[in-house]
């Protein structure tokens, strides 16, 4: 089931991305690996994977705390909601 990412997911994964990228850069500097395109792509991919995992963990923890959230409504339901909202305009 796909759901919209939570605000916590977005904040945590963004923060983790920058922290992971910093540590990976530092580790590669210590190993003496020259800066370049391949190194930049490696840092990007590894930091993205760590960030994605942290976001998934944040969603899992939120679901354990709050319980499962209802699935997104179907397109027909959304059309009905929009029509009802338009009818209620003064």
d(C-alpha 20, C-alpha 51), whole Å: 8
Q: pLDDT by residue (tens digit) across 23-50?
A: 999 999 999 999 999 999 999 999 999 9
Q: Which has the closest alpha carbon to 20: 55, 2, 44, 56?
A: 44
Q: How far is CA 23 from CA 18, 32, 45, 54, in A?
A: 9, 14, 13, 15
Is the model's pLDDT at 4 over the cut of 60? Answer: no
Domain boundaries, the chain: 7-69
């Amino acid at each position: 089931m796909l759901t919209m990412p939570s605000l916590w997911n977005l904040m945590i994964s963004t923060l983790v991305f920058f922290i992971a990228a910093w540590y990976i850069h530092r580790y590669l500097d210590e190993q003496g690996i020259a800066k370049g395109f391949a190194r930049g792509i490696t840092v990007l991919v590894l930091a993205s994977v760590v960030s994605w995992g942290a976001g998934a963990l944040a969603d899992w923890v939120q679901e354990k705390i709050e319980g499962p959230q209802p699935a997104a409504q179907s397109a027909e339901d959304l059309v009905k909601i929009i029509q009802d909202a338009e009818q209620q305009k003064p």
